[in-house]
Structure 1
Amino acid sequence: MKLISFMKEGIPGYGAVQDGRVLDVSSVLHTEFPDLKSIILGNAWDKLQDACRSCRSFNLDSVEHLPPVPNPSKIFCIGHNYEEHRLETGRPKTTFPSTFFRFADSQVAHGQSALIPRVSSEIDFEGELAVVIGKPGRYISAADALSHVAGYSCYNDISVRDWQRHTTQFGPGKNFPCTGGFGPWMVTADEIANPQALELTTKLNGHVVQRASTSQMIFTVAELIEYCSSFTPLTPGDVIVSGTPGGVGMKRTPPLYMAKGDAVEVEISRIGTLCLTMEKES
């Protein structure tokens, strides 16, 4: 099932996407479950499916997308998790995942504009698989980890490279407003048995700039869940952004940074395509 968060006539909602239409589940369940995160938190999948049978619907192109989970408590970002990317950045091999964090209010949705901040022009694409946590847990074993997943989505973990390089901490370069592209929807985990068998492609103005299989991850989705849940409890709606393949703009000769008017897409097989347009901050 494809689950979407959206804005319709100025009112936020959520629902399921089927055959080019949105089943507005929130029109039935909004009192008990005001957003998609509350559905995940309440493990209310049966109620969601029941509501799909009786709710109103409208054309997908009539809604404004929101990030699938607009309000995650935590967004974990994983660095250098594909060998090709590790090599192009000159990073040493590590025993543990490189982990940093993104603020929820830095995110932007499918079909919207990502912002080039006025203080930088080194804006880089990073297509990634996003993992949405569905069941809480601490010290989750890798063997049990996928049972804690609610679903998967596309992510563009856009980097403001010069700010990312200010220190060894990536935080500033990863948290400018409207730089964390998330969407277009979340595909529920029952439809993706193996997250390590997906194809990821990033395109800039129609040209392929990244292409990889998630089988090439250094640390698997299950291992990332095990690691992250060891230092903090995972809660429903949390997001793990699992790392980008090689081909990033800063490591090209000359560097390939995004500019105003550029169109950037992140496509993942069995999920869909996240599309953003680059705009300059006023």
Structure 2
Amino acid sequence: MKLVTFESAGSWRAGIVIDSSIFDVDALLNGDSATSAPSVRQLLAEYGGRLAELSARLIAAAKVNPKAVVGPVDKVRLGPPVTDPSKVLCIGLNYNDHVAETGRALPSHPDIFAKFASSLIGPFDEITCSNITPNLDFEGELAIVIGKQCRSVSAEEALDFVAGVTVLNDITARDLQYRGTQWLAGKAVDGSTPVGPALVTLDEVGDIQNLDIRTRVNGEQVQSSNTHLMIFSVRHLVSYISYFLALSPGDMITTGTPQGIGAKRQPPLWLKPGDTVEVELQNVGVLRNVVR
């Protein structure tokens, strides 16, 4: 199942992608009695433990309610799959090759920082923060979305609490990041972080630890790796974080970037107005954003 958030009459609504078309989830669930549209986060709160059941119900409803179609997926404006997460947690230094290019020692525990919902933008929205920094960098990443409340879960059971996977570009203002000892200023700029295009449930993703990930700037490949090269697996990350922090439906954990970031190139490759940056994750989708 591919869940999306789409724009309708100036507000966000939850949708499902079926055969390259978006259907309104609220219309599929409630028909003519649809009154209020749940967000994807609210949908996960209700169905996070029954996603297969939800998928079957929505697909069956789409067959008998074609009026619920919104339009082709490439003609509808998409927002972040979850527009209102209570937590966006990010892992730094989680690929061996990226750690090597930074000159740091391998971490013994996950390095965690945070973003806010205000930093998230849609998968094809413009990145409009070049006026804030001349040192705008890219970081293609796999991100997971929590489906069920969890606390102190084991690594073995961790994926039972993951709703699915999406793609994230951890756009970073490097000068702001390194002005102090904390990374927040450079990582959580308003409107800086593309996410999407869909939340793809695990049954459609395949092996979460064996997915190719690539980043391109103006068509040139600048990052190429595979999630099996993570230092800390998704299972480990969910278990580690849930030990000290309760995770809720809709919470997002983005799992780090491989080598090739602009800051470590000679000369540095900074994003500038007019550049197009793409992040592609196997079996999940592509982000494509223009810098302004």
Fold similarity call, TM over 0.5? yes
Which letter does structure 2 place at the counterpart of 1:245?
P
Residue 136, structure 1, aligned to residue 120, structure 2:
no
Gaps of 5+ in 2: none
Alignment partner, residue 57 of structure 2? 50
State the alpha-carbon separation in 2 of the partners of residues 236 and 246 from structure 1. 30
Contact 1:107 1:180 in 2 (8 A): yes
**Which of structure 1's runs of 4+ aligned residues deviate more than 6 A?**
none
Deviations 1:111-149 (A, max 9, x none): 110122423110000000000001111111101101111
Alignment partner, residue 21 of structure 1? 21
Alignment partner, residue 6 of structure 1? 6
Shift of 1:186: 0.8
Residue of 6, 18, 39 corresponding to 1:35: 39
Shift of 1:32: 6.7
Identity of aligned residues (%): 39
Greater percentage in strand: 1
Relative to structure 1, is the Cα distance of residues 233 and 224 closer, same or farther in structure 2, using a 3 angstrom cutoff? Answer: same
State the alpha-carbon separation in 2 of the partners of residues 203 and 112 from structure 1. 16
Relative to structure 1, is the Cα distance of residues 254 and 277 closer, same or farther in structure 2, using a 3 angstrom cutoff? Answer: same
Contact 1:263 1:278 in 2 (8 A): yes
Contact 1:116 1:260 in 2 (8 A): no
Which letter does structure 2 place at the counterpart of 1:3?
L
RMSD: 1.5
Contact 1:117 1:176 in 2 (8 A): no
Length, aligned pairs only: 279
Which letter does structure 1 place at the counterpart of 2:200?
V
State the alpha-carbon separation in 2 of the partners of residues 119 and 34 from structure 1. 34
**Which moves more between the two structures, 184-193 or 214-223?**
184-193
State the alpha-carbon separation in 2 of the partners of residues 84 and 2 from structure 1. 31
Which letter does structure 2 place at the counterpart of 1:112?
D
Which letter does structure 2 place at the counterpart of 1:277?
V
Shift of 1:230: 1.1
Contact 1:33 1:39 in 2 (8 A): no
Relative to structure 1, is the Cα distance of residues 237 and 67 closer, same or farther in structure 2, using a 3 angstrom cutoff? Answer: same
Q: TM-score, normalised by structure 1?
A: 0.95
Residue 202, structure 1, aligned to residue 215, structure 2:
yes
Alignment partner, residue 212 of structure 1? 225
Alignment partner, residue 237 of structure 2? 224
Which letter does structure 1 place at the counterpart of 2:86?
S
Relative to structure 1, is the Cα distance of residues 12 and 48 closer, same or farther in structure 2, using a 3 angstrom cutoff? Answer: farther
State the alpha-carbon separation in 1 of the partners of residues 126 and 56 from structure 2. 32
* 3-state SS of 2:291 partner: strand
